[in-house]
Amino acid sequence: MLAGEETSIELVKRWLQNRADEDLETGSSGGSPGARAGRRSSLALTPEDEPLVDVANRSPPPSYIPSALLYAPPEPLELLCVFPERASRVCAAASAAASRVGGEARTVRGLRETLELLRRDVDPRLPHVVVIDARQPQSLDAIALARAIRGIKNTQHIILIAVVKKSAYLKDDFAVLPFLEAGYNRVMVETLGATAWCAEMLQARSAATAARAQIGAVAALAAAADRSRDLVAVTDDQQRILLTNKSWCRVLGWRVEEGPRPFTETAGGEALRLASSGARDWEAPVTLRRRAAPDPILLPCRGAAVALTRSTSHVVFVCEPTNAMDGERGRGSLHSIRRGSLDVRSVASDGLRRTSLAKLQGLPLEAPITKVITLLSAATEGAPPSTVACIERAVDMLRTSELYSPQMKDEPKLRVEDPIATDLIGALLSQGPTNIISSRRSSNDSTVVRQTNRTNIKHKTSGQLRELLDTALTWDFEIFRLEDMTRGRPLTHLGLTLMGQRFDLCGTLECDERTLANWLTTIETNYRPKNSYHNSTHAADVLQAVAFFLEKERLKCLLEPLEAAAALVAAAAHDVDHPGTSSAFLCNSLDPLAILYNDVSVLESHHAALTFKLTLSDDRVNIFKNLDREMFKTIRHNVIDMILATEMTKHYEHLAKFVNVFYATSGGSKEDGLQADVSKTDEPLSLDTTALSLPENLVLVKRMMIKCADVSNASRPQKFAFEWAKRIADEYFLQTDEEKAKDLPVVMPMFDRATCSIPRSQIGFIDYIIMDMMEAWAAFIDMPELVSHARSNHQRWRELDEAGVTTIAEVMRAQRQYALQSTPSNTTTTTQPTAEE
């Protein structure tokens, strides 16, 4: 233990002390009667000398469910009959009985139809009762159908009734058990009797209501547990875990969907001993093992046994996390929002939370890097000189503040052999002014907010445009066709389709569609159409990529709707008002933006700031206006973080953090470093899924998502990748022209339209920026085409390079010929998107 660090045992003791003090001060009746009876006033306790809290089994509290919780709103009976025979009279009798008791009946004929109907998103009118014809196994396998129904989420409350043949039912060997085991609640003998069916429907309706009430109550309690900062676990009487809440999963590195497992695998200590001794209600420490960390943690735990009859059915464990664990969550994470609109740290909970400023001074504040350096330095003791030298070098590197700044490993080689790639990558990765700054200023006034004409915002689309937008979630989406068809307003149209319709942003942000349309138009108007690359088509392209990524299972499981909304907003606005020149150019020309942002993250800061300036400037545009303060704070934090993550000078920092957290290579530790990890194609990356359960790692995922979307052009099918390459080169050339004209330092001297080789610049871009990143991201979201497109584009650029092609015009010409050659003569040629010479 490091000096000044508070042990878990001390924390437990302090927690107990606090609770005891509180009770003394307030005469509080908090805690169970049993626990209060067992709590001691003297707390000079250690685990060694005596149990921390003795058993409180003297007057077991009754386990009861408040009757108000068992409420289910009355609903008219919804009956579903599954009868293969269309004109079944039994089915007609059941349906008639349903209407006689004030309900409605629908009939389907088979398994597929039934299952389709039961999926909530297809039909929100879930039936309360399903009557299934089990008389003709050759037409309908009633047992399989019941199992399939029970396999669908949220169907536990549906009452399933099997109708069987009278002759079969009366046989001696008729077995009810297989029906019950498959999920049926009742088995009924075929009948046409109206009275019998009415009685059955009334009983079924009451059973369905009771089931709905009970399951609703359980779901409400599970939701409450999920929103608690305490770690909650529920076991059965055999100490098998039945339920764990989100905090439990987060802290211990579990997946939410993990099935029953012995509690003792994870937990130990006094709390468990008390639980297994039959205690009803107790407070005692528990030790919990975390997946990602070797050392167990010791936490204060409150427990209770639940027994509706004489025997215990469930045991509840509620463990209180320490303040240090709160710190691990990171401030302002979306997770704090999921707990309601309160900051985690301010949620009222007794015990350790009462940290005052004075106490802060006594807290063991130490950066992890300091601990690492201390550990490494300790390792030098007695080590051979060569090891000492290595460690000292490592410590020297760790002491710098530039841990993630890229240092090209084979820079000299690159510089000699490929000056264009060196130019491009160097310019992308370096921050601030390039050279001695000229005193001239740019005449650009980049902070002008262009107002939009907010009439005519209806999202009316022509047939062709509609058809095109229907393909908005494909990786070969025709973005340039959209640009043409919308006359340079692709962002608004695509935004309404993806953000509005596909991702229901209006629902998540509680704004109306008009506000979203106004917002998109405003943002789009503030992109500069004169830029060949950084215009609203690029914004739409990045939005499309983010939406595509969000559809991947991995992200669907990880991100909440508010996080998805933040990502889409950030994507749409991430380059708003881009001047078409780089941050370095702005710094060199002493542009007002560079002055405003002190040469640091100039463009990205501007994009993020302007996004909020535009959004908040007018209620008709403000898509966030209905969010409460905490939600707004959170989405703002997320949007800003993602926009800032698009800054290329931080490229390797974001990539390295992502790879270090989520991947281990089979042949080495994660700490080997990024280049060593991801560039070795023969050493497969293995995803470390435990890291996914830690919410603080989510931010790395979100940054990586927008980064990959931002440069996804190189991982698109060839015709798109080439058009984007042409556009960015055009923009670079214009910057060089301007730098020369204004006698400014030239940021990328090789990007001169007369001499630059486009294929070489793209080869360098793919080699140094794209490949590693796309490999890591593609494996993460399971999207191999990101890598395959990048590889085949790389291959084609090499062919062009080897053929001596350099300028944009030559590239376009070669590509047209290539398209003609690879198209069979009797079919129509696919033209390049909007490529002009």
How far apart CA 777 and CA 702 sit, in angstroms, is: 11
| Contact assessment for residue 79 and residue 100, using Cβ atoms and an 8 Å cutoff | no
CB of 578 to ligand CMP, least distance (A): 7
Three-class SS state of 284: strand
Residue 111 touching ligand CMP (CB under 6 A): no
For every residue of 47-91, which 3-state class applies, written as one string? CCCCCCCCCCCCCCCCCCCCHHHCCCCCCCCEEEEECCCCCCHHH
CB of 106 to ligand CMP, least distance (A): 53
CB of 581 to ligand CMP, least distance (A): 10
Stretch that binds ligand CMP, among 341-349, 544-552, 733-741, 760-768 (CB under 6 A): 760-768
How far apart CA 32 and CA 53 sit, in angstroms, is: 13
Residue 714 touching ligand CMP (CB under 6 A): yes
Residue 728 touching ligand CMP (CB under 6 A): yes
Three-class SS state of 443: coil
578 is catalytic: no
Stretch that binds ligand CMP, among 5-13, 115-123, 145-153, 720-728 (CB under 6 A): 720-728
CB of 725 to ligand CMP, least distance (A): 5
Three-class SS state of 161: strand
Residue 497 touching ligand CMP (CB under 6 A): no
- Positions of E strands within 695-822: none
537 is in an annotated binding site: yes
Residue 751 touching ligand CMP (CB under 6 A): no
Answer for which of 145, 159, 725, 812 binds ligand CMP (CB under 6 A) is: 725
CB of 729 to ligand CMP, least distance (A): 7
CB of 671 to ligand CMP, least distance (A): 28
x/- binding map, residues 463-482, to ligand CMP, per CB under 6 A? --------------------
Residue 772 touching ligand CMP (CB under 6 A): no
- Using CB atoms within 10 A of its CB, is residue 162 exposed (0-12), middle (13-18) or buried (19+)? buried
Continuous H helices in 526-576: 536-550, 553-558, 561-573
How far apart CA 128 and CA 76 sit, in angstroms, is: 9
* Helix%, strand%, coil% for the chain, nearest 5: 50, 10, 40
Task: CB nearer to ligand CMP: give 266 or 446.
Answer: 446
575 is in an annotated binding site: yes
762 is in an annotated binding site: yes
Residue 520 touching ligand CMP (CB under 6 A): no
538 is in an annotated binding site: yes
Beta partners for residue 305, in sequence order:
315
Stretch that binds ligand CMP, among 123-131, 233-241, 694-702, 711-719 (CB under 6 A): 711-719
Residue 715 touching ligand CMP (CB under 6 A): no
Answer for which of 418, 710, 772, 775 binds ligand CMP (CB under 6 A) is: 710
Find the helix or strand (DSSP H, E) in which 766 lies.
none
x/- binding map, residues 404-443, to ligand CMP, per CB under 6 A? --------------------x---x---------------
Residue 575 touching ligand CMP (CB under 6 A): yes
CB atoms near residue 810 (< 10 Å): 17
How far apart CA 527 and CA 201 sit, in angstroms, is: 63
CB of 442 to ligand CMP, least distance (A): 17
Distances in Å between the Cα of 298 and the Cα atoms of 1, 9, 263, 266, 694 are 14, 7, 15, 12, 19
Answer for which of 232, 565, 590, 648 binds ligand CMP (CB under 6 A) is: 648
710 is in an annotated binding site: yes
Residue 570 touching ligand CMP (CB under 6 A): no
CB of 587 to ligand CMP, least distance (A): 14
Stretch that binds ligand CMP, among 161-169, 182-190, 253-261, 759-767 (CB under 6 A): 759-767
157 is in an annotated binding site: no
User: Which residue is catalytic, options 157, 493, 534, 654?
Assistant: 534
Beta partners for residue 746, in sequence order:
none
Output the DSSP codes for 201-218.
Answer: HHHHHHHHHHHHHHHHHH
CA 803 from centroid of its chain's CA atoms: 45
Task: Fill in the DSSP letter of residue 693.
Answer: G
| Contact assessment for residue 491 and residue 535, using Cβ atoms and an 8 Å cutoff | no
Beta partners for residue 327, in sequence order:
none
Task: CB nearer to ligand CMP: give 477 or 724.
Answer: 724
Contact residues toward ligand CMP (CB under 6 A) are: 424, 428, 575, 646, 648, 710-711, 713-714, 724-725, 728, 761-762, 765
Residues of each annotated binding site for Zn(2+)? 538, 574-575, 710
Residues of each annotated binding site? 534-538, 574-575, 710, 762
